[in-house]
Structure 1
Amino acid sequence: MKSVENAPKIYVGTYGMYNSGSLFGKWFDLTDYAETKEFYQDCYEYHRNEFDPELMFQDWENIPDFLISECSLDDSVFQYFQASDEMDDDTAEAFKIYCEQISSWPGNGKALDEQVESFQESYRGHFGGSMRDAKVEYAYQYVDETGMLADAPSLLERYFDYEAYARDLFLEGYAEVDGYVFADY
């Protein structure tokens, strides 16, 4: 996990304490654990004063919502962090968006290595730098990379409608979220 200030943390209490009017719990730093089993063991040990504690994740930081809920932590969370730690910050953010909004992982049933491979095939980059519209910026790059207008006379090339072409590209075949572009296959 990349840095201490961005470390994933969970405030763990119990439903029993919460229903009694207490928010008693503890912040657990996930960088201290290698797997969910260890994490849960520490949580139950901390709340050993209750007969059968039902853990309640009352707050969390730096953990994507698709990996955690009020009462559970996905078993893939440590693998996810390991994979995203191997990426630069921009790619890791794109991977998070891809998992959450494009392919609905881990609910899609793919193993993490399949998810990473699918992401790498789909991800086209982050756009929105020099232009206000990421879709149009991608359309310019796409046209250039494919050589679509390479044989067109330069006079005719000036009349190409990149905005309309971008609109068509993103109607079917591509998705854009916060400037990150993904192919839909």
Structure 2
Amino acid sequence: MNLSEAKVVVTTQKETDNGSHAGDWFLLSDYGDMGEFFGAYCSYFPEENNPVFRYPAWENIPDILINEEWFCPNFFEIRDALERLDESETDHFLAWCSYHGHDIAVDDPHLLVTNYRDNHTSCPEFDYDMIEIPDDTSDYQIFNSSFFDIERNSFEIFNDNYD
């Protein structure tokens, strides 16, 4: 997976309800941040006031960052942070995040990449490739965000330095 090759189809709920499914593929490497991307697809539907956007198809984007009704607002920061890793390390990194309970969609991606690079080499005997990343974790994210009213503070408290 290479987020710099990511692309997504953007349409609106109105277009979906009308059955026209008007929309288009947007190559995310053409945009530097969420503001540019949002402006581009808003201008694609100028006749709609307050459109509800939908994302019916995507490529090279992990399912934890997108679903049909939601696109991670942190996507461009994540993409920039993952550029510090080799393409072959990306899936390993996502498995590492899943194993250690990090949510790449919410947590600081630059800090996660730094922690991954500093700490994953200290446990070479553990095979993170054996960890399966669930295809659809959005249900868990919705449950966690609505059920638990506290943020994970372990990094701020312990700073991953237990010595």
TM-score under structure 1 length normalisation: 0.60
**More contact order relative to length (CA 8 Å, sep ≥ 6):** 2
Give the structure 2 partner of residue 8 of structure 1.
6
Written as runs of structure 1 = structure 2, the 5 A alignment for 1:65-104 is: 65-100=63-98, 102-104=100-102
One-letter code aligned to 1:66: I
Q: Structure 2: any 5+ residue segments left out of the alignment? A: 133-159
Report the Cα distance in structure 1 between the residues aligned to 2:98 and 2:8, rounded to whole angstroms.
19
Identity across matched positions, percent:
24
Measured after TM superposition, the shift of residue 100 of structure 1 is 4.4
Q: Is residue 82–residue 113 contact of structure 2 (8 Å, CA) maintained in 1?
A: no
Report the Cα distance in structure 1 between the residues aligned to 2:107 and 2:60, rounded to whole angstroms.
23
Report the Cα distance in structure 2 between the residues aligned to 1:2 and 1:104, rounded to whole angstroms.
20
Q: Structure 1: any 5+ residue segments left out of the alignment? A: 126-137, 143-173
Q: Secondary structure at the match of 1:123?
A: helix
Q: Secondary structure at the match of 1:177?
A: helix
Report the Cα distance in structure 1 between the residues aligned to 2:36 and 2:62, rounded to whole angstroms.
20
Report the Cα distance in structure 1 between the residues aligned to 2:45 and 2:35, rounded to whole angstroms.
15
Q: Is residue 6–residue 58 contact of structure 2 (8 Å, CA) maintained in 1?
A: yes
How many corresponding residue pairs?
Answer: 133
Q: Is residue 85–residue 92 contact of structure 1 (8 Å, CA) maintained in 2?
A: no
Report the Cα distance in structure 2 between the residues aligned to 1:91 and 1:52, rounded to whole angstroms.
40
Report the Cα distance in structure 2 between the residues aligned to 1:65 and 1:14, rounded to whole angstroms.
20
Q: Is residue 12–residue 55 contact of structure 1 (8 Å, CA) maintained in 2?
A: yes
Change in 2 beyond 3 A, CA 1:57/1:2: closer
Runs of 4+ residues over 4 Å off in structure 1: none
Deviation string, structure 1 residues 29-53 (Cα, Å, up to 9, x no partner)? 0000010111111111101122221
Q: Is residue 64–residue 96 contact of structure 1 (8 Å, CA) maintained in 2?
A: no
Written as runs of structure 1 = structure 2, the 5 A alignment for 1:32-181 is: 32-100=30-98, 102-106=100-104, 109-124=106-121, 142=125, 176-178=128-130
Report the Cα distance in structure 1 between the residues aligned to 2:75 and 2:81, rounded to whole angstroms.
10
Measured after TM superposition, the shift of residue 179 of structure 1 is 7.4
Q: Which has the larger radius of gyration?
A: 1
Measured after TM superposition, the shift of residue 114 of structure 1 is 2.1
Give the structure 1 partner of residue 139 of structure 2.
none
Q: Secondary structure at the match of 1:28?
A: strand
Give the structure 1 partner of residue 152 of structure 2.
none
One-letter code aligned to 2:104: P
Measured after TM superposition, the shift of residue 2 of structure 1 is 6.0
TM-score under structure 2 length normalisation: 0.67
Measured after TM superposition, the shift of residue 86 of structure 1 is 2.2
